A and B are shown apart, each in its own frame.
Chain A
């Protein structure tokens, strides 16, 4: 894929009560354009999941393009639940790779926190299967709770064994100035946290957040002339599974994670052993666990082992750093923006500009954006050296 990332921008993640959705997207977009040294792009793709339910706002393509002074360009929203950001990046890559455009701006934006309590829970529930899940009072966290309980039952795993994923996320988020929760997680706090949907607790589940992240994409030939350190997109894949968990043969196997990872790696001509860093969709520790297993980084029932020793193996200086800027758990989860944050963070890692979050020797990174519990899985492989 002859596409490169030539600019990144991100707003702080948190509760932006005083700012509109267009305003947040504008900040990230301007920052990415400045990073790329560009004032104009050929197209804009907006990743957003809940504009219609949280903000009573659709047509974000037009809204955001106008905010950025880009009115007139092709622009529209890409929606795939919490994978919307990944889907927008994918769409941008396709547009550039096809030759239809030379440059594209990808902006993920979400504003979830103006709505609170049961109204927010209901609004977020629109990404579940309405007829078979949410009609029964299901929430994504409840579905994750059921997966986790079954996993613990099948493989005799205890709650404390997941702790390292959250500890690692907060260890990295604590030094990320854009992270929503910059506190360290003390050992033992995880198992004592209040339950949201047992066994998923407050310290297990990623927080809803507001934020926007942006990437400027360019055709690879152009990229080298634009910026000193373009980041190549060498793999890009979207795979879907059943929306409702109940329709999967084995809910503990994330088939779309497996296929999406395989396809992206195949495009890049790489294997998992070539990957130096993972930005995973760590909305719940069970999702991280099942993702690692489904990717092939653990046997069924063994994915939790990556969390051992307070996540030492997945720390910034570990074998395979994960959630290097805090992940969804600590940086925060601005739903439709999250997939773009992941890619922007991975790009900074590859450019060696990750500051205190820098992992060493990162040549290739894999980012994965997930809608639901593996219903839509978007994987990208980013590389420091165009291949």
Chain B
């Protein structure tokens, strides 16, 4: 038994990027924000069709100018809001236009 056989090299590396990229199904600009999101308003909210097929609801971030239905976007980690009196930061996902 050679050292190399200890590692299975036949399986390709799992590509998780399918869950990170998608196209814009639709988007809107939220003018009337709920508590916790007022400081960000107006902000863009989107439905993103992920490459692996499912849909996800998220804010758009880092958008310069316009963004259109069908545009490619990618997932990034961002602060969503702060929670409660102690102001615990809630992190989550947002999407931004794919950087070329």
Residues of chain A having any CB pair with chain B under 8 Å: 118-119, 121-122, 125, 132-139, 141-143, 145-147, 149-150, 153, 194-200, 244-248, 251
Contact = CB atoms under 8 A, between A and B. Distances in A.
A121 B69 contact: no
A246 B34 contact: no
A137 B34 contact: yes
Given A137-B59, A150-B47, 13 more contacts: A121-B35, A132-B57, A134-B34, A142-B30, A146-B27, A146-B47, A149-B28, A149-B69, A196-B31, A197-B32, A199-B28, A246-B55, A251-B25
B27 A137 contact: no
B92 A135 contact: yes
Contact of B28 (A135, A146, A245): A146
A110 to B, nearest CB: 18
B34 A136 contact: no
A137 B37 contact: yes
B56 interface: yes
B69 A150 contact: yes
Cβ-closest 7 pairs across A and B: A145-B28, A122-B34, A150-B26, A146-B26, A137-B37, A122-B35, A246-B55
A136 B92 contact: yes
A135 B80 contact: yes
A150 B55 contact: no
A153 B56 contact: no
Contact of A136 (B26, B27, B57): B57
Contacts of B35: 118-119, 121-122
Nearest to B68: A153
22 contacts: A118-B38, A119-B35, A121-B35, A136-B57, A136-B58, A136-B80, A139-B30, A139-B33, A142-B28, A146-B45, A146-B46, A149-B27, A150-B47, A153-B26, A197-B29, A198-B28, A198-B29, A199-B28, A245-B57, A246-B56, A248-B55, A251-B47
Interface string B38-51: 10100101110000
Contacts, number: 101
A220 to B, nearest CB: 45
A133 B57 contact: yes
Contacts of B34: 118, 121-122, 125, 134, 137, 139
Contacts of B26: 146-147, 149-150, 153
For B26, B40, B56, which residue has the most chain A Cβ atoms within 10 angstroms? B26
B72 to A, nearest CB: 16
A143 B57 CA distance: 9
B90 interface: yes
A122 B36 contact: yes
Interface of B is mostly: strand
B88 to A, nearest CB: 13
Contacts of A134: 34
A196 B33 CA distance: 9
Contacts of B27: 146, 149
Nearest to B49: A246
Interface string B73-84: 000000011000
A147 to B, nearest CB: 7
Contacts of A132: 56-57
Contacts of B25: 146, 150, 251
A200 B28 CA distance: 9
B25 to A, nearest CB: 6
A249 to B, nearest CB: 9
A139 B80 contact: no
A145 B43 CA distance: 13
Contact of A141 (B32, B40, B54): B32
Contacts of A141: 32
B95 to A, nearest CB: 10
Contact of B80 (A121, A137, A195): A137
B8 to A, nearest CB: 36
Contacts of A121: 32-35
A195 B29 contact: yes
Given A136-B57, A153-B69, A195 B31 contact: yes
A146 B94 CA distance: 16
Given A132-B57, A146-B45, A149-B27, A139 B69 contact: no
A137 B45 contact: yes
Contacts of A244: 57
B45 A136 contact: yes
A171 to B, nearest CB: 26
